[in-house]
Amino acid sequence: MITENTLAFAIRDKFPARPLHTLIIPKRHVADIFHTNAAEREAIHELAALCCEQIRNEDESVGGFNFGSNIGEAAGQKIFHAHVHLIPRRTGDASLAPARPD
């Protein structure tokens, strides 16, 4: 475990999309993030902010983050306990989407 508060905890993803990929998970079992209550969402957000700071301190090449959750099988959810992905991104680690035509 990386860190925790009374309602949630943070761990590294076992199958990271990028180095230092972190999961923030509520302690109470609910199927997805939409089933969390306001206090749980705030606890998740607090841990995400703390983890962002820790990741940036650990790896200065991190220039941004993807922060989100897959909700439902059709959206790619594989673990049916709410969790949010915090994925550090570095310049050049993925190609940019092509510009839209005018």
Q: Which secondary structure element, helix H or strand E, spans residue 84, and what is its range?
A: strand 84-90
Strand order in the sheet with 62-68: 3-4, 8-12, 22-26, 84-90, 62-68
Res 14: pLDDT = 96
Residue 41 in domain: yes
CATH label of the domain that carries residue 29: 3.30.428.10
pLDDT at 59: 98
Which residues 6+ apart lie within 8 Å of 63 measured at CB?
89, 90, 91
Q: Which residues of the chain fall below pLDDT 70?
A: 95-102
Q: Which residues contact 85 (CB under 8 A, 6 or more apart)?
A: 13, 17, 21, 22, 23, 66, 67, 68, 69
Q: In degrees rounded to 5, what are phi and psi of residue 19?
A: -55, 140
* Predicted pLDDT of residue 94: 72
pLDDT score at 95? 56
Q: Which domain holds residue 26?
A: 3-90
Query: How high is the pLDDT of residue 102?
Result: 47
pLDDT at 73: 95
pLDDT for the residue 89? 96
Amino acid present at 64: G
* 12 domain-assigned: yes
